Chains A and B, each alone.
Chain A
Amino acid sequence: MSERIIIEQTAYKTVYREGSRIVKEFTASHPMSLVLNEAYIHACVEDAGVPVPKLLGVMLSENGGWSIAMEYVSGKTLSELMDENPDNADEYLEKLVNIQLDTGRYRVPHLRNTRQKMIDAIQTLTEIDASTRYELLQRVHSMAPHTKLCHGDLVPSNIVIHEDGSWCILDWAHASSGNAGADAAITYLHYSLERPELADKYLHLFCKKADMAIQYVQTWMPVVAAQQLTKHKESERELLEKWISVAEYQ
């Protein structure tokens, strides 16, 4: 048996490498349904032919929780590359957008719809008042249902670039089938929170390449901000609340 190298540890999971495998081990208190759902989404996406690490197994761990095992993929994440070569930021940004557009070409109908996913998230939010929830729900309801594969958290740290330049995408827990505009809004939100200097650049590049109106992505912004609010990160609260507080003529 190979040595376990811990890669990431959070309150509810430990990710470690064991030889040619990566294992995501969840704590016993983490709901089984969430783990199996994540594995299921991963399987759906892999079946559809999206470049992802091969799923190797889902099993009960010794700690009583569930684990997902997948193939270890070599290479560096896009965020590592960006940190190492800050001068090439534009090139990497373009890579990110290309990968995002490429992902959107896949159809994975078994996944939950983006709109429904957003609706569910908004309905659980207690931080915002009922009127704002009502407006947000109305906003989501008025969006046309699309069927593009959306990663749901497509940030540079979830993209691995292999030595030969090919790539694969990690962490499909938040994936859905639906609107690329929402997916872009999520990435834009990520940048606005983490690297604000790149946010507008990303948005313009994405919309240009996707031939999409910026206003359309903007329409999703209050919604994805509300979804992000469910993560209860205090540091993000001010920006998210500002984003959510947008009125349409009512």
Chain B
Amino acid sequence: MPEKNNEMIGTEQLEAKLAAMRAAQREFGKYSQEQVDKIFQAAAMAANKARIPLARMAVEETGMGVMEDKVIKNHYAAEYIYNAYRRTKTCGVIEEDTAFGIKKVAEPIGLVAAVIPTTNPTSTAIFKTLICLKTRNAIIISPHPRAKKSTIAAAQIVYEAAVAAGAPKDIIGWIEEPSLELTNMVMKEADIILATGGPGMVRAAYSSGKPALGVGAGNVPVIIDSSADIKLAVNSIIHSKTFDNGMICASEQSVTVLEDIYDEVRDEFERRGCYFLKGEEIEKVGSTVIINGGVNAKIVGQSAYTIAKLAGVKVPEKTKILIGEVKSTDISEPFAHEKLSPVLAMYKAADFEDALQKSEQLLMDGGPGHTASLFIDTSEKEKMAEHAHRMHACRIVINTPSSHGGIGDLYNFKLTPSLTLGCGSWGGNSVSHNVGAFDLLNIKTVAERRENMLWLRLPEKVYFKRGCMSVALDELGTVMHKRKAFIVTDQFLYHNGYVRPIEDKLNEMNIQYSCFWDVAPDPTLQCALEGVKQIRSFEPDVIIALGGGSAMDAAKIMWVLYEHPDASFEDMAMDFMDIRKRVYTYPEMGKKAYFVAIPTSSGTGSEVTPFAIITDAETGTKWPLADYELMPDMAIVDVDNMMNQPKGLTSASGIDVMTHALEAYVSVMASDMTDGIALKATKLVFDNLPEAYELGAKAPRAREHMAMASTLAGEAFANAFLGLNHSMAHKLGAYHHIPHGVANALILTYVMRYNASETPTKMGTFPQYEYPHTLQRYCDVARYNGLSGKDDKKTFDLLIDKVEELKKTIGIPASIRDFGVKEEDFLATLDEMTENAFNDQCTGANPRYPLMSEIKQLYLLAYYGKPTKEAEKI
């Protein structure tokens, strides 16, 4: 059987050809942009010069279309495609941003398989070969057998010009004797398929297993709205529909005209040489054009006159378009199909909605995703928007001949010029745009490591020094002209006269005030809501929080609810990985009231932090809120308010300060901006806490240093955040009713040992955290505090000892058990506590990313008061 042999020979030849092309492409892949641009230009010039002979050849070979129109298509494919990419970078680095450390590098895909349709056998060949040359790809062309000579001739002209300009031999190839077997083989062998053709071909491309840029058929519906310029509309349609005898896939297939202008439109069509089929002529032409739901091959790209003749209908020889006035938009109506010829359906629409419905059906049944057209007065924005919304078309052209409009750059200069038009998923395609050079590139992104921008955010004003409160408050009146102040504090402070100096000052300045003094420790939402009632009726322009963490946190919550009554705690409390990337955007604060925080304990640092914790007493849920919107506007650190703290508070809040400073210092977000502040805070605590604890108000200097330490540590962790110690202490305190500072202290040295590991199971994720270096960081703290061993390990041991000594001095129990937590209670809550501690917002900044099992071991060691060294083994 000789045919079989031919096929075999064909296969072998093709294999050899493809191998040669791959080798050529590897060579071409090394070319510079300059070399490529020279080749691209030479090839475009050559194709352009040959546009007339190629057009003539295409018409002669296929017997379809209009020679002069094919000249335009060839001209377009050469000139417009060249122009669109003449300055485009397609080789090597095409984009770079040194600040962000990002680079885009364009690489060729390799071997492109191109299927070329019979309707545009030369222009599509020119288009595809040119964009392949521009992108350093090799291209193997599978022509349609009906148009193989002209397609190959076009490819050859481009090829020869490219080689003459320096392109490697074999960079463009084609199948001499196309068969389905060879086409399929090419598709399977190529790196990507650029398939322009019928649904069968496109489906074959997509099922080849290779990435495919396949694009589909159209069935362009046009609507002429009542507001349209009728002359422009009708003549655009005629111009487009007769172009190449209607073979362009973006060619109009049906015109739906609004009732009120129907006759006028009809007259204009007639006047310009279109023929309206009468009576049974419609059926005659319909059954000639469409056979069993498909287009009669004999009429494709023929003139209106020829088609009418085939159908046995007499029309003037110069007839431009045969128009069938039909009613049904169903697929059973021949005129509702894509007709690939100057045959057009015309519908009358009762209103714009009716027109939309007709267009929708025509589009979806015949050319989903391709192109839809609308003629309208462009001031009709609503109608245009509705049309754009309803048409599942990837190109929607307005007041434009769609054949010319769809391919781009002729009637709109931002639509990419292309002869391969994607129809999106509606058309079963992988692309919805006009295919171009960028579809034939692999873009590598080179991303260099960069560190995150960091920040230092503090209250607008931090006032300090003993006795400064009155001076600081003066600003509220003299500078800011506040008129109504709302004071939030707790019962103890209120009844013991701590509010009076503030009231006196406010009186002096004629600032009206109201006071809410019912904040309890671990403030509840219910308490805050009470306060909010009072605030809302009082309508202050400044809120003054006086107290420890509880009063300041409660005041912050009241502030939020006063400014934004609808704020959702659940949303505000949502954990984040990076505070700048959080899903929830905090409402802007400060529009109604200025916020002043005056601490009365040296502990939380809440006067300078963006944090607040509130508990919903009804559900028991704790809402930890964190956002710089919660940052007080003014902090007044006046030790006179702190002199008489009880011993227990001095101890618990004092060691809390130490924990804040240590965690902020070893946090993955620690920076030069926070390091100095944190170090200073540790020194102030080591040097002053024992005395402040022992002597209280009798040691005003120590008290003042502790006040500074507290605020400094607050500033540090307001920016560098905390770590696992706080995560674990939050849960330990909540489950076993241990004051926050004490809870921190009970686990502090275990967590320090754990964090100091040089071989942690996992380290924290943050670009500036380069490697586990926490041991080194703790040694910085030790040395700053005058501790030095013979090496880092010993130095660290000294720091641990010093912390332990401090804890002992200020009366911190040796273990959680010693604090009085029963073993059975502790063990019963251990797993839950562990998981919740892991999930705490503070965990993210810890230098060591903890496993839950590790947290559990830490809890156990701290419970039984085991030697802290054991935490190093975790």
| Chain A interfacial positions (CB closer than 8 Å to B) | 130-132, 134-135, 137-139, 141-142, 214-215, 218-219, 221-222, 242-243, 245-250
Contact A248 B198 (CB under 8 A): yes
Cβ–Cβ < 8 Å partners of B293 in chain A:
214-215, 218-219, 221
B92 touches A (CB below 8 Å): no
In whole Å, how far is B831's beta carbon from the nearest beta carbon of chain A? 54
Contact A131 B340 (CB under 8 A): no
B184's nearest neighbour on chain A, judged by CB, is: A141
Chief secondary structure at chain B's binding surface: loop
Residues of chain A lying within 8 A (CB to CB) of residue B296: 242, 245-247
Contact A134 B145 (CB under 8 A): yes
Stretch at the interface among B103-111, B200-208, B432-440: B200-208
- Contacting residues, chain A, for B180 (C-beta < 8 A): 134, 137-138, 141
Q: For the complex, what is the distance from the CA of A249 to the CA of B217, rounded to whole Å?
A: 6
Chain A residues with CB below 8 A from B401, complex form:
none
Which B residues touch A221, using CB under 8 A?
292-294
> Do B292 and A130 touch (CB < 8 A)?
no
CB-defined contacts of B198 to chain A, threshold 8 Å: 138, 247-250
Is A250 a contact partner of B178 (Cβ separation < 8 A)? no
Can you report 6 residue pairs joining A to B where beta carbons are below 8 Å apart?
A138-B200, A141-B184, A142-B203, A247-B198, A249-B117, A250-B201
Contacts of A142 in B (CB 8 A): 199-201, 203-204
Report yes or no: B294 in contact with A246, Cβ–Cβ below 8 A. Answer: yes
Cα of A218 to Cα of B198 in the assembled complex, Å: 16
A31 and B611 CA atoms in complex are apart in Å by: 93
Q: In the complex, what residues of B have CB within 8 A of residue A214's CB? A: 293, 331-332
Q: Tell which of B201, B218, B338 has the most Cβ of chain A within 10 Å.
A: B201
When chains A and B are docked, how far (Å) is the Cα of A139 from the Cα of B292? Answer: 14
Fill in one digit per residue for B98-137: 1 if any A CB lies within 8 Å of its CB, else 0: 0000000000000000000111000000000000000000
A222 touching B292, Cβ below 8 Å: yes
When the two chains form their complex, are residues B297 and A245 in contact, meaning their CB atoms are under 8 A apart? yes
Question: Known contacts A215-B293, A221-B292: does B340 contact A247 (CB below 8 Å)?
Answer: yes
Residues of A close to B144: CB separation below 8 A: 131, 134, 250
Determine how close the nearest CB of chain A comes to the CB of B364; give it in whole angstroms: 13
Cα-based distance from A246 to B298 in the complex (angstroms): 8
For B199, list chain A residues within 8 Å (CB).
Answer: 142, 248-249
CB contact list, B276-302 vs A, under 8 A: 291-298, 300
Q: Determine if B156 is an interface residue (Cβ-Cβ < 8 Å).
A: no
B178 touches A134 (CB 8 A): yes
Query: A131-B145, A134-B178, A215-B331 in contact; A247/B200 too (CB < 8 A)?
Result: no
State which of B119, B197, B294 has its C-beta within 8 Å of the C-beta of A222.
B294
Judge whether B200 and A248 touch: CB under 8 Å: yes
Name the residue of chain A whose CB is nearest to the CB of B115. Answer: A250
Q: Give B219's nearest chain A residue, CB to CB.
A: A249
Closest A-B pairs by Cβ, 5 of them: A248-B198, A246-B294, A218-B293, A142-B200, A247-B297
Q: Quick one: given A131-B145, A138-B204, A214-B332, are A247 and B295 in contact (CB under 8 Å)? A: yes
In this assembly, does B622 line the interface, its C-beta being within 8 Å of a C-beta of chain A?
A: no
List chain A residues, Cβ under 8 A from B145. Answer: 130-131, 134
Complexed CA–CA distance, A142 and B184 (Å): 11
Shortest distance between the CB of B65 and any CB in chain A (Å): 12
Closest Cβ neighbor of B217 among chain A residues: A249
B116 to chain A: closest residue by CB: A250
Contact with A along B304-319 (1 / 0, CB 8 A): 0000000000000000
Considering only CB atoms, which chain B residue lies closest to A185 in the complex?
A: B292
Contacts of A139 in B (CB 8 A): 200
Distance (Å) between the CB of B739 and the closest chain A CB? 72
- Knowing A134-B178, A137-B180, A215-B293, the reply to whether A245 touches B200 (Cβ < 8 A) is no
Partner of A141, one of B200, B217, B340: B200
Q: With the chains together, A182 CA to B119 CA distance in Å? A: 28
Collect the chain A residues with CB atoms within 8 Å of residue B777's CB. Answer: none
* A222 CB, nearest partner CB in chain B, Å: 7
Chain A positions within 8 Å of B340 at CB level: 247, 249
The CA-CA distance from A242 to B117 in the complex, in Å, is 22
Q: How far is the CB of B426 from chain A (nearest CB, A)?
A: 16
User: Could you list which residues of chain B lie within 8 angstroms of chain A, going by C-beta atoms?
Assistant: 117-119, 144-146, 178-180, 184, 197-201, 203-204, 217-218, 249, 291-298, 300, 331-332, 338, 340
| Contact across chains for A246 and B292 when beta carbons are under 8 A apart | yes
CB of A136 to closest CB in B, whole Å = 9
A191–B300 Cα gap in the complex (Å)? Answer: 28
Contact of A218 among B178, B197, B294 (CB under 8 A): B294
- B179 in contact with A134 (CB, 8 Å): yes
Q: Report the separation of the CA atoms of residues A141 and B293 in the bound assembly, to the nearest whole angstrom.
A: 19
| Nearest-CB residue, chain B, relative to A123 | B3
Given the complex of chains A and B, what is the CA–CA distance between A246 and B337 in angstroms? 13
Cross-chain contact of B117 among A132, A138, A250 (Cβ < 8 A): A250
Q: How far is the CA of A246 from the CA of B197 in the complex (A)?
A: 15
CB proximity of A236 to chain B, nearest CB, Å: 15
Give every chain B residue within 8 A of A132 (Cβ-Cβ): 297
> Closest CB of chain A to B116's CB: distance in Å?
9
Other than the given A138-B204, A248-B294, A249-B218, 17 more pairs (CB < 8 A) read: A132-B297, A137-B180, A138-B200, A142-B199, A142-B201, A221-B292, A222-B292, A222-B294, A242-B291, A243-B292, A245-B297, A247-B294, A247-B297, A249-B338, A250-B119, A250-B144, A250-B146
Hey, which chain B residues are within 8 Å of A135, CB to CB? 200
Report the Cα distance A131→B204, complex, angstroms.
17
Q: How far is the CB of B317 from chain A (nearest CB, A)?
A: 24
Give bound CA distance, A141 to B179, whole Å: 13
A130 to B177, alpha carbons, bound, how many Å? 10
Check B119–A141 contact: CB distance below 8 A.
Answer: no
Q: Which residue of B lies closest to A141 (CB)?
A: B204
Question: With a CB–CB cut-off of 8 A, which chain B residues contact A250?
Answer: 117-119, 144, 146, 197-198, 201
Across-interface contacts of A130 in B (CB, < 8 A) = 145
Which of A130, A131, A137 has the most B CB atoms < 10 Å from its CB? A131
- What is the minimal beta-carbon distance from A147 to any residue of chain B, in angstroms? 18
| Bound-complex Cα distance A134 to B178 (A) | 9
C-alpha gap A250/B195 in the complex (Å): 10
Contact residue among A215, A219, A245, A249 (Cβ-Cβ distance under 8 Å from B197): A249
| Residues of the A chain whose Cβ atoms lie less than 8 Å from the Cβ of B217 | 248-249
Set of chain A residues within 8 Å of B332, measured between Cβ atoms: 214
Cβ–Cβ < 8 Å partners of A246 in chain B: 291-292, 294-297
Which residues from chain B contact A138 at a C-beta distance below 8 Å?
180, 198, 200-201, 204
CB-CB nearest in chain B for A137: B180
**Measured between C-beta atoms, what is the minimum distance from B217 to chain A in Å?**
4
In the bound assembly, the distance between CA atoms of A215 and B203 in angstroms comes to: 17
Q: Closest CB-CB distance, B419 to chain A, in whole Å?
A: 13
How distant is A193 from chain B, measured CB to nearest CB, in Å?
14
Is B179's CB under 8 angstroms from A249's CB?
no
**Nearest Cβ in chain A — how far from B369, in angstroms?**
14
Note all chain B residues with C-beta closer than 8 A to A215.
293, 331
Among residues of B, the one whose C-beta sits closest to the C-beta of A140 is B200
Contact partners of B178 in chain A: CB under 8 A: 134
Which residues does chain A contribute within 8 Å of B291, judged by CB atoms?
242-243, 245-246
When distances are taken between beta carbons in the complex, the residues of chain B under 8 Å from A218 are 292-294
Shortest distance between the CB of B186 and any CB in chain A (Å): 14
Q: Enumerate chain B residues within 8 angstroms of A248, measured Cβ to Cβ.
A: 198-200, 217, 294-295
In the complex, how many angstroms separate the beta carbon of B249 from the nearest chain A beta carbon?
6
Q: Would you give the shortest CB distance from A141 to chain B, in whole angstroms?
A: 6
